Structure 1
Amino acid sequence: MNRRPARTRPRATTRTRTLPSTLAALSAIPLALTACGTGVTSDPSNPQGPEETVEVTNCGRKLTFDTTPENVVGMMPSQTEMLIRLGLQDSLAGQAQTDVSTLPEDIAEKAADVPVLSTDAPPAREDLLATAPDLVVSPTEYEFTAEQGFASIDQLKENGAQAYVATGGCADRRNTAEVTDVLTDITGLGAIMRVPEEAEELSAEAEDRLSAVDDAIEGSQRPSVAQVYVEGESLSAIGAGVEADIIKRAGGDNVFDPEAPEFAEFFAAEINPEEIISRNPEAIVFGVSGPAQEEETREYLHSTFPDVAAVENDVLIAVSQADLHPGTLGNIDAVETIAEELHPGAF
């Protein structure tokens, strides 16, 4: 396979071991949700009022909003970005986990004055509650784990706040999440925050970008792809969740089966290098937190898999780890990046 310079099968039994620390943090999340449903009803106590009651089903919970939330917290840059792109920067009372990824340049300035509640982990319970939020938007349910010292969903409710979790990050949806789940989040947050026109515009733009990829790669041969995460000498295969759907939407054929037992309870499984060698993928996709990890991962892949087709042909595709999180517009960025590398002649 020929490819442009990088930007930024035999069946074997996968042996699951202990996950690397970065992915293991997510394993505390019970597995992920149902699609979000929205509804709008008139408030009988104020039939002439400017606002109507909005009901949203999220992670199996019914959220009811009689008024528009005024103090909103984005628990990850991905959620903060979506809120800003919906025109809601003036409603932001806090942003969290800001070192996980940087906001896109075109909106970064709009978050400059938003208080930072945490940098590399969810905010402590007292720090989050101190902002007096009425809505907290999160990529997963992990951010509400009381045992970790975070404010639980019940504790937020006791303090007058409701939690909205990205559809793809809800516990019973995490392993079957799809890229298009982000459209559900746009619609849901647009309804909650009473900005339906902005939500419709943002959703249409996202759909157009996905459709453009579909059109470009239609009829193309689907190369085999292994999606991995490397931390030190630890190697994990990504076989399910929105991560796997990103590969599918980008026109790749994942060498790991999301229905396999090793992915029944979590979207990733630590593997031995032999699992990659036996499948001999034509491309390897890997998530990184920055340039240093990208360089380290490339060195690891070249030294560990010199005879694997993806390495021999240098089809090693790095994507931002943040773009693989549930509920982020970055999922679409990842689809575009991977598709252009897998099908360079189509773009």
Structure 2
Amino acid sequence: MMPTQDRSTRRPRGRRGGTALAALAFAPVALSACGGGVTSDAADETATGRTVTVTNCGRELRFDSAPESVVGMMPSQTELLIRLGVADSLVGQAQTDTSALPEDIADQAEGVPVLSTDTPPAREDLLAAEPDLVVSPTEYEFTAEQGFASIEQLDANGARAYVATGGCADRRNTAEVTDVLTDIANLGEILRVPGAADDLAQAGRDRLAAVQAAVRDRPRPSVAQVYVEGNSLGAIGAGVEADIIEQAGGENVFDPDAPEFADFFAAEINPEEIVSRNPDAIVFGVASPGQQERTRAYLRETFPDVPAVQDDLLIAVPQSDLYPGTLGNIDAVETIAGRLYPEAF
């Protein structure tokens, strides 16, 4: 698995070409700010409810009534839909092998048809589900050249595509943890469950505020976030990953405004870059226990004199917690803060 969900076809910029970051460029990642406010047309009330208009990835999405046939294109999106109380509207879930749904809601997805396991669903499989709303982490899931249904094809079949705020192409490098709160608000309006959305968003804000209160006024440890594949090393310096470190109270040793992160949130680096920055902690995403152990072994062998290794502050985060449009971003903040400031929690 790749560090976040980014299957952009752009190759990451770095000091040398290599497999880790080249592969990262094709992983399912968050691309950019779809952002978007929600407006409703009070003069256009219908028997099925008010019209809702959402700006998403530069597109205007109009909903005259609540969608009734919804597809979650990643477990992270399926989780949001279930927590918003619309599990009965799900007609499909996709990329189900990329991460497990949380135990407290997993049973609510048991009867939902699986459209794909480790890649986005094929065009014909998605269209056969006859959705009227498809909720996705990125725009990659709608790449026609890959055999997926495009946004235009979905439109022609009566379906609207909503992309996570952190998953639009122009937002990837500046995405923030709180982008998921925008998604919750937008989906709450679209699906006509604003009360559930308000509760879910407030719970997220409260969790983030609790972390900020716990770490406030404490010395900030330096943190490097990396991705390891074999003997290739990548630095993650921008995007929601960088904001996760910031929200957790860490001081990122990589500058998101540095040239190597101008076009992509990550860059392949030489080990000397980590040694020279001498981080107090190293954060890395993992998709399996085996990957976690391999990464820990690499870091211990490669950086024995770095404080992060000497103090055993090697912090593994589930890769799925770094996907765009996921409550897992908040989980990642809590996980990292708990390791950086164990006395505060």
TM-score grouping bracket, smaller chain normalisation: over 0.9
Cα 1:28–1:338, aligned 2, differ >3 Å: closer, same or farther? closer
| Aligned 8 A contact 2:34 2:164 in 1 | no
1:17 maps to: 17
Distance in 1, matches of 2:95 and 2:140, equals: 13
Distance in 1, matches of 2:46 and 2:75, equals: 37
2:139 maps to: 141
Shift, 1:271, TM fit? 1.1
Distance in 1, matches of 2:249 and 2:19, equals: 28
Post-superposition CA distance 1:27-56 (Å, at most 9, x none):
998x52252210111364xx4624111000
- 1:60-139 mapped onto 2 (5 Å cutoff): 60-139=58-137
Residue among 192, 195, 199 paired with 1:201: 199
Shift, 1:65, TM fit? 0.4
2:151 maps to: 153
2:306 maps to: 308
Distance in 2, matches of 1:260 and 1:16, equals: 16
Cα 1:235–1:147, aligned 2, differ >3 Å: closer, same or farther? same
Post-superposition CA distance 1:219-252 (Å, at most 9, x none):
0111000000112222111000001100000000
Root mean square deviation of aligned Cα = 1.6
Residue among 216, 219, 241 paired with 1:218: 216
Distance in 2, matches of 1:164 and 1:182, equals: 13
1:333 maps to: 331
2:11 maps to: none
The 3-state SS of whatever aligns with 2:96 is: coil
Q: TM-score, normalised by structure 2?
A: 0.93
Residue among 284, 287, 294 paired with 1:286: 284
Paired residue type of 2:308: A
Distance in 2, matches of 1:328 and 1:67, equals: 25
Distance in 1, matches of 2:211 and 2:270, equals: 33
Is residue 265 of structure 1 aligned with residue 289 of structure 2? no
Cα 1:50–1:301, aligned 2, differ >3 Å: closer, same or farther? same
1:35 maps to: 35
Paired residue type of 2:245: I
Is residue 51 of structure 1 aligned with residue 49 of structure 2? yes
Post-superposition CA distance 1:175-212 (Å, at most 9, x none):
10000001000000000000000000000100000000
The 3-state SS of whatever aligns with 2:32 is: coil
Shift, 1:296, TM fit? 0.7
| Aligned 8 A contact 1:17 1:269 in 2 | no
| Aligned 8 A contact 2:34 2:167 in 1 | no
| Aligned 8 A contact 1:32 1:171 in 2 | yes
Distance in 2, matches of 1:304 and 1:294, equals: 15
The 3-state SS of whatever aligns with 2:49 is: coil
Gaps of 5+ in 2: 1-13
State the aligned residue count. Answer: 332
Distance in 2, matches of 1:222 and 1:35, equals: 30
| Aligned 8 A contact 1:285 1:316 in 2 | yes
The 3-state SS of whatever aligns with 1:226 is: strand
Shift, 1:308, TM fit? 1.1
| Higher deviation after alignment, 269-278 or 210-219 | 269-278
Distance in 2, matches of 1:50 and 1:187, equals: 20
Paired residue type of 1:268: A
Distance in 2, matches of 1:41 and 1:165, equals: 22
Post-superposition CA distance 1:43-93 (Å, at most 9, x none):
64xx46241110000111100001111111101000000000000100111
Distance in 2, matches of 1:40 and 1:249, equals: 32
